[in-house]
Each structure stands twice: as C-alpha cells, then as structure tokens.
Structure 1
Amino acid sequence: MTFATTTQTTELDRFPAAASIAGLAARLPEETREELSLGADYEALAAKYRPIFAKIAATAVDREKERRLPYGEIDWLKRAGFGAVRVPRKYGGDGASLPQLIELLAELAAADSNITQALRGHFAFVEDRLNQHATSDQSNWFARFVAGETIGNAWTEVGEVKVGDIATRVTETSEGLVVNGAKFYTTGSIYADWLDVYAGRDSDDEPVIALVNRHQPGVEISDDWDGFGQRTTGSGTTVFTNAAVAAEEITVFTERFRYQTAFYQLVHLATLAGIVQAAANEFAQQAAARKRVFSHGSSPQWSQDPLVQQVVGRATSQGFAALGIAVRATESSQEAYLARFIGDAEVEKQINQRAELESAQGQIVIIDLALDATSKLFNALSASAASDAKKLDRYWRNARTVSSHNPVIFKERIVGDWAINGTELPYAWAIGAQKDAK
C-alpha cells in the first residue's frame, strides 16, 4: 500500500464514500443486514444495564478494600445478557454497534473499572465470532452468549519464552486433543465458562486458538495477580494439564479477525474514560461536602472556591474528551466489521489499517488525559483525599495500570512511522525474551 507523505491528507483519509458505517451498511443485501449488529437505541440499551451498574458501583470501594473478586457482580451481568450486547438481534442479542459497546463499557468502568477489563477477552471473542459469521454459521456461539456464557483470556506465556515461540501446546492423544501449558495475565478467566487459549498445534506447529471449557479438572486458575491497580480483574496464572478440547473448537490464529489488536486497545480506552469520569464525579461530590477551608484560600466556602472549581472542571472536561475520543476511535472498527461482509478485499484492508491507526492515536492521547486528571484531582480536596479509607487513590492506580498495557511509547513510534514514512501498522505482536538471548 502506498501512502502520501507530501501533503496533509493521506491515502487512509481518501476512502470512497461507501467506506463509512452508513455507506458500508448500504452495500449489504437486506438479508445480510439482518444477520449483523448495526446498532441499537443507545439510551434504551443503557437503561437496561444501568441499574446493575449502579449496584456494582455501590460496593466498589468495599471490594477495593477487601480485594474481593466480583464473582457476584459479573454474574449479575451474565444473567442480564450483557455478554450478548454485540450479538445480532436476530439471535437474541442487543445488536449494538461497536461504538455503542465502547460507550457502554465506559459506563461500566465508571462503576468498577476492574469488571470492564475482566470482560475484555469475552467481548474480543464475541467480536471474532461476529466476523466468522461471514463464512460459517455462528448461531451456536451466539446462543451461548445469550445464555450468559462468557470467555476468558489465556494468551501470554509464562517464563523465558522467546518472542514468537509458543510453549503451550495442543496435542493429539488416544483420548482426543488436549492442551498443556501455563499462561499469565489471564484476565477474566477466573469468572469465565470458556478460555480463549493461544497455543501451538503439535501436528503442524501452527499457531491456533483453542476454546477450552473452564469447568474441567485439567484447568487450574490462580488469583496471583499482584498489581497495585486493577486488583480484581482476575489477571493471574492459568495452568492446563491435559485439558480436553474438541477439534471443532480449534481455529487457526491467522483466521482471527484482523482488527483484534485495535479492539483490545479500544476496551482499554473505554476503561480509562470511565475511570476519569468516575474520579471527576467523586471528587466533585467530596468537594461539595467539604467544610474545612484554608485561611489563604480563595473563598470562605470550599465548594465556591474558584480554584477548586477549576480543578474539577478540568477533570470533568478530560473525562468528556476521553469518552469522545474512545467512541470516535471505534467507528473505524465497526467499519472493519461491516467490510468483512461486502467482499471488497482492498476496502477491507484499508479500513483495518485505519482501525489500527485510530485505536493507537486514541491510546496516545487518552492515557495523558487519564493520568493527568486522576493525579491533579487531589488538588481539589487537599490532604484529606489521601485517607486510605476513601481509596481515592484507586483511580490513579487503576488508570496507571491500564495505561501500562501495550506500551504507549511503541504506539507513538508506530504512528509516527506511519505519518512520516507511510509504514503499515502491525495487526498483531508478541512478547517474550529476545531471540538472541542466551
């Protein structure tokens, strides 16, 4: 692909008119549109889940103090059908668009950012099934999602595995296929019914995704994540010991949906946006209730002090901007989803590139907004904000932890390389020891 580098517009900006959400949907036959998730009435959709979000928010501080995993809270969401938000209405889901999902996840993150991140692997797998529906019937999986079944993540290898190597293996035995290996950062798996496992297939060394039933003796999940933030995401270790997997639940990794890296990042953007909005709201409430003032302050009443108002006003605006960026950055991923069904390989390729670009650009900006807001908000309350009983530090700790995923310094370089040299953005990457390490 060639990118223009001598003007302010690039080839990625010069899409045909049909390469938009509305334009791509218009190119689909009516019978195909009925099979897809094109969007819902957002307020009606959100109203369905907001009572649960409110219940989750009411006990978020207690969970933080006790480091109590939100089994019950996630079960509330499962029972309400939250895991099927993106499933087409024809199959019993809400039929939400991707931007609507991200906005909804931001609302959930404002209630408890741990839960949004814990469901990240689930919604990524749902997105893959939505894409695979273009070539094979996925109604069986759609029914599972509607019934409340969720999927956890198990991708990152444990130990000194080199970049690109896969120690977790799928092996043929006399009793069928089994998975053996260990994974860390298995976010959400402890709450899930199925595990999305990245593994190597022994028969041909092909990288595959194995869908392993979590409820079997061969799967052991430990809550050993020791991060200072996002403490209840269930991002610990999962060990597979001859865990059974059905042949039909194994797919080749290269067939997975192209905008997956963008999607994973977009969920983080939703999480960060929700954190900032929740932090600004709580600090505003505490500032409104505060009675003590300083003799050298700007007002005899804390809530009327213009400098305090300025701090909260800035953070509130940062939350507004973060959500706006997250939702806008998601539009190209919805386009990539629709492009999967129109049969135009070049349009699909370009839109997937734009999806990757826009998720990275959103990441670069939202991280700064989130960390700045959750740090400077403490100026609106003074030393009392540091009380451990209030746990106001959780907003910064959680934002800092989420911001440390998918290192932003590399995303900045990648976007810069695209802007200067027209270099395509990578769709997937790996982590591990350097290849030449001894």
Structure 2
Amino acid sequence: MNFLEAATSEERLSMMKVFAKKFFERSTKLDEEGNFPFDNIHELVESGYTTLTVPKKYGGKEISLLEFVQLQEQIAIGDGATALSIGWHLGIIKNLGEKELWEEALFQWFCEKVKKGALTNGAASERATGSPTRGGKPQTTAELRENQWIINGRKIFTTMAPVLNYFIVSASIKGRDEVGNFLIPREAEGVKIEETWDSIAMRGTGSHDLVLTNVEIDEKYLVEIIQPGNKAANGWLLHIPACYLGIAQAAQNYSIQFAREYAPNSLNGPIIELPNVKQKIGEMEKELLVARSFLYAVARQWDDALEYERPKMKPELSAAKLVVTNAAIHVVDLAMRLVGASSLSQKSPLQRYYRDVRAGLHNPPMDDMTIMQLAQAAIEKNN
C-alpha cells in the first residue's frame, strides 16, 4: 500500500485503518518490553505516509490539517506511541511549508531528503528550562567560528530519537541576545543519543536525551531565529489531541467488545444488555462525539482561514487540545469502570490506554496556560 498512489483522502483513511490493525497487534509486546516501534515507523516511511505534508510544489501531497488529524487519530487507535512519534515529523514539515520559515532552497533540499525517507523532530526541551512553551532560554549554546556553528548542550524528550535523521535544535547564540533553531544531521560528529526514556506512559516513543558535544555544522544550518515561549498559532499541533482521541476511541472499542462477550453466571446473557453498562457506553460516545466535532471543526477552520486570519486562532487551537485531551482521559476512565478490575490486568490494553492518555496533560499547550489565554481573549472581546 502506498499513500502517494491514493487519489482521495477517503482512500488514504481506509489504508490507514489497515495499518492501525497491524500496529495494534504489535502494541502489547512493544509496551511490555518498552521497545520502540521500529517496524511501524518503517512501514509508514515505506508507504509514503511521512511525505504527505510536503508542499505540492516540492512533489508532496500537502494534505489538509483536517486530513492530517484524521489519519493521526487512526494510527493512535492502533498504537498511541506510534501516532505521537510520527505526528511530530509530519506536523513540523507541514508547519514549515505553510509559514515558509526557512530559506526556500534549503527547505526544498530538506523536502527531497524527506521524500527519500528522512525523519525529523524538534529538540527544544531541557531539564533546567522545562517546557519551551513557558519561555525559558535554552542552555544549549551555539558559537560561530569562521563559517561553522559549534553546538553544545543536552536536550530531553527527543521523541523518535532512535530513528531520526535530522534534529531541529534550539540554542542560545553566543555573543548575541538571540535564540536560533539549528538543523543538525544525525551523522554529525559529537551527536549522541542517551537512552534515558523511562516514562510509564508512551513507553514506545523513544523520547531519549540528545547530547551534543562540540557538534560542527555549516553556517547555513541556522535555519530560524526564534523567540522562546513564542505563542504563535500552530495548527499542526492538533496532531497531539488527535492522538489522544484515537486512544480514547480504542478504549471504547475494547470496552464494548468486552461487554458483548462477558456473561457472568448471575445473568442470562452478556453485560451489554445492562442499563448501567449502556449508560457508560452512552457517556463515552457523547464525549467522543463532542471532542471529535470540536477537533475537526477547528482543523477545518484552519484549513479555510486566510493567511492573516490564522494568527488569531490561538484560543481555538489551544481549547481544542484541552477539551479533547481531557475528554479522552474521561473516556478511558469510563471504559475501565465498565470493564472492572480486569482492566488493571497486564493483559488488558486498557491499562496501557490509561497510562498513555495521561501523557496528553504534559504535551503543549498546558491546560493552565490555555485557560489564561482563553480568559484574556474573553476579556479583550468585552472591552
């Protein structure tokens, strides 16, 4: 199956459902062993999926944000860690193409690398600064010596580290009161991955530490000057709530199947006929309908917005992440209440969904920042 040969978004969605089933079959073993989903990522690369957000003028499909989140949701139904991992790559390419943040020739060259299978992600978080969205200046440094940048530092939460070909690293520029993003190839001397990822949630994302020791890169690989904590409107970040929505859908699917099959001898049939069980299924469905409708509506709004309108969408984008992620947590909780104590068994996928869905609270933007942003937007509307 090749996503580049599919003529419509419906065809691509149908293809992804097939991949998701394979990912689900591997998910239990991967989670138990804490392994990275190498096969899943390889299959997505080979299928052309990782090129779908490349701009059309560079030979990509340039899929809409709505289609992107729908595809990511399907991956997460199969395996949340795979979805969150690959979502960063596709989202970054989409964002760079939409906003034209890099020098054009360099971005075109980079897109050619992506079309040949290269994977990328940002490396911004540091232990001393916390989430980059809160505005901390990176302790990773970049010093220009003749025509070479010398990069030193350590980044945490470098998702998909085992297979990344390029890292987009934020660093404070010595001698200048500026912070830049630097494109660093994996094969550069001084690049090292330390396998530090020990989270009980999203175990398969391989979000290890990236250690940079006197890494030399060409002057042109300073790809962007950035403002730490920049709260620009970023539609591509909707891949995050899409992932957790998919996990919640998987939890509901499992709980319904359990209710169809579980028939204790105290009843004359399966528990799915019980009113209290139907109540929980209905509550899950309500949460999923509301969350999915909101997420898709905001994605459509982004797709339809004019260039000058998109920067004004920060409240809607942040609210979508907050609403969808918290709804997903509630759905998983309801599914576990329906299934009962066996949901805590290592053999049950629900205990994995429970752990994985909580990770959404710690992906940007954070709930407290979103609430303050929404409050400010409401105040300004009423001036």
Normalising by the smaller structure, the TM-score range is 0.7 to 0.9
Secondary structure, counterpart of 1:273 in structure 2: helix
Q: Which deviates more, 245-254 or 368-377?
A: 245-254
Q: Which residue pairs with 2:332 in the alignment?
A: 374
Q: Is the 8 A contact 1:106 1:323 kept in 2?
A: no
- Aligned residue identity for 2:64: S
Q: Which residue pairs with 1:152 in the alignment?
A: 121
Cα distance, 1:193 vs. partner? 0.6
Q: Which residue pairs with 1:353 in the alignment?
A: 312
Q: Which deviates more, 201-210 or 230-239?
A: 201-210
Cα distance, 1:164 vs. partner? 3.1
Alignment pair present for 1:301 and 2:259: no
Larger proportion of helix = 2
Of the candidates 69, 86, 104, which is equivalent to residue 119 of structure 1?
A: 86
Against the structure 1 CA distance between its residues 423 and 234, is the aligned structure 2 distance closer, same or farther, given a 3 Å change threshold?
farther
- Aligned residue identity for 2:39: G
Distance 1:255 1:417 in 2: 21
Q: Is the 8 A contact 2:13 2:70 kept in 1?
A: no
Q: Is the 8 A contact 2:263 2:269 kept in 1?
A: no
- Aligned residue identity for 1:213: P
Distance 1:324 1:215 in 2: 43
Of the candidates 59, 70, 83, which is equivalent to residue 92 of structure 1?
A: 59
Cα distance, 1:60 vs. partner? 0.8
Q: Which residue pairs with 1:310 in the alignment?
A: 279
Distance 1:174 1:139 in 2: 26
- Aligned residue identity for 1:322: A
Distance 2:110 2:14 in 1: 26
Distance 2:172 2:96 in 1: 21
Q: Which residue pairs with 2:3 in the alignment?
A: none
Distance 1:247 1:132 in 2: 22
- Aligned residue identity for 1:167: Q
Distance 1:172 1:126 in 2: 27
Alignment pair present for 1:400 and 2:372: no
Q: Which deviates more, 397-406 or 47-56?
A: 47-56
Gaps of 5+ in 1: 1-39, 340-347, 425-438
Distance 1:70 1:261 in 2: 31
Against the structure 1 CA distance between its residues 301 and 385, is the aligned structure 2 distance closer, same or farther, given a 3 Å change threshold?
same
Against the structure 1 CA distance between its residues 423 and 158, is the aligned structure 2 distance closer, same or farther, given a 3 Å change threshold?
farther
Q: Is the 8 A contact 1:281 1:316 kept in 2?
A: no
Q: Is the 8 A contact 2:84 2:243 kept in 1?
A: yes
Distance 1:276 1:370 in 2: 5
* Same amino acid, percent of matched pairs: 21
Against the structure 1 CA distance between its residues 42 and 423, is the aligned structure 2 distance closer, same or farther, given a 3 Å change threshold?
farther
Q: Which residue pairs with 1:272 in the alignment?
A: 244
Q: Which residue pairs with 2:104 in the alignment?
A: 136
Q: Is the 8 A contact 1:56 1:111 kept in 2?
A: yes
Cα distance, 1:132 vs. partner? 4.9
Against the structure 1 CA distance between its residues 132 and 411, is the aligned structure 2 distance closer, same or farther, given a 3 Å change threshold?
closer
Q: Is the 8 A contact 1:171 1:179 kept in 2?
A: yes
Aligned Cα root-mean-square deviation (Å)? 2.8
Deviations 1:118-163 (A, max 9, x none): 1243223202331354873433222222211110221012336895
Using structure 1 for the length normalisation, give the TM-score. Answer: 0.77
Larger radius of gyration: 1
Distance 1:401 1:160 in 2: 19
Q: Which residue pairs with 1:389 in the alignment?
A: 347
Gaps of 5+ in 2: 1-6
Q: Which residue pairs with 2:199 in the alignment?
A: 227
Cα distance, 1:238 vs. partner? 0.9
Alignment pair present for 1:214 and 2:174: no
- Aligned residue identity for 1:153: G
Secondary structure, counterpart of 1:224 in structure 2: coil
Against the structure 1 CA distance between its residues 375 and 41, is the aligned structure 2 distance closer, same or farther, given a 3 Å change threshold?
same
Of the candidates 209, 218, 221, which is equivalent to residue 249 of structure 1?
A: 221
Alignment pair present for 1:196 and 2:196: no
Cα distance, 1:388 vs. partner? 1.6
Q: Is the 8 A contact 1:122 1:152 kept in 2?
A: yes
Q: Is the 8 A contact 1:229 1:398 kept in 2?
A: yes
Against the structure 1 CA distance between its residues 388 and 251, is the aligned structure 2 distance closer, same or farther, given a 3 Å change threshold?
same
Distance 2:346 2:185 in 1: 40
The count of residues paired between Structure 1 and Structure 2 equals 371
- Aligned residue identity for 2:378: A
Cα distance, 1:242 vs. partner? 1.5
Against the structure 1 CA distance between its residues 319 and 325, is the aligned structure 2 distance closer, same or farther, given a 3 Å change threshold?
same
- Aligned residue identity for 1:366: V
Deviations 1:323-357 (A, max 9, x none): 22222222343346x51xxxxxxxx1x43122x11
Cα distance, 1:199 vs. partner? 0.9
Q: Is the 8 A contact 2:95 2:236 kept in 1?
A: no
Secondary structure, counterpart of 2:198 in structure 1: coil
Of the candidates 372, 375, 378, which is equivalent to residue 416 of structure 1?
A: 375
